Amino acid sequence: MRGTVGGVRRAWAAAAGVALVLAGSPLAAQGYRVPRTAGGKPDLNGIWQALNEANYDIEAHEARPALAVRPGPYGPVPAAAVLALGAVGSVPPGLGVVEGSPIPYRPEALAKRNANRENWLTSDPEIKCYLPGVPRATYMPYPFQIVQSASALTLVYEYAGAVRNVYLKDPGKAPVDSWMGQSVGRWEGDTLVIDVTGMNDQTWFDRAGNFHSDKLHVVERYTRTSPDVIAYEATLEDPDVFTRPWKMSMALYRRQEKNAQLLDFKCAEFVEELLYGSYRKHPLSK
């Protein structure tokens, strides 16, 4: 009898643990009915934002003194160019968003990733306000807006004024490679699936130097799981850089402010001095 009671208690404890995990998960809302547009598809309209540290490094990572470091007497210290930033220039720890880490780099590609990381100050396209590409645009520390109707779908990002028009009918192969690529959407049940191709090789996935080639193919999945949460997944395939396809996943949260809106952050004008200041007749002193 005692063994039976103990078994029941263990079963209840296990069930309670599962319930607590589900209750604490932003991706589980029991009985949630997805709102729908006039066309009957799940309504993804709204201003959304990721709340994680993926833009620093999509893989799990410890806190670091800076993204650019140099050897110090007792370990790495911030590079001279970022020393004055202090804690503002440090890297917060992150659990990572890559499933089954580490990223499956080919050996030569991993060496390039490491070189990118060493030369972050001069190499990261974000520093120069270049368009972020996909999927990085999704988890940068800025909101983005999904604008959806029965016949059109557009994603608008605050960072650099980036925009993605999502084709709902496949137009064929992208005519040219571009920073944000070509997006073609379809519905699989209540999940919006977006195929992204035709991206150039100039964007990174994060500030840690993770990169891709122009062979990158991204399949995104957006599933609304509660009034204020979208479960986001991106499967990435690039035979020139990775040994196999891999996936990242995260929650996207709806901005709650009554006056939530995208503001202007067209940062190109803020990097003119960085990019072109040396061409002044009388360059500013450093």
Tens of pLDDT along 171-197?
A: 999 999 999 999 999 999 999 999 999
Calculate the dihedral angle through the C-alpha atoms of 187, 193, 197, 199, rounding to the nearest 10 degrees: 130
Higher pLDDT, 26 or 133: 133
Tokens 């960085």 belong to 274
Whether the predicted pLDDT of 234 surpasses 60: yes
Whether the predicted pLDDT of 13 surpasses 60: no
- Where do the CATH 2.40.128.20 domains begin and end in the chain? 43-60+98-279
pLDDT tens track for 54-88: 999 999 999 999 999 999 999 999 999 999 999 99
43-60+98-279, CATH topology level: Lipocalin (2.40.128)
Q: How far apart are CA 227 and CA 144, in angstroms?
A: 17
Question: pTM value?
Answer: 0.88
C-alpha distances in Å from residue 165, one per residue of 71, 131, 147, 151: 45, 15, 10, 12
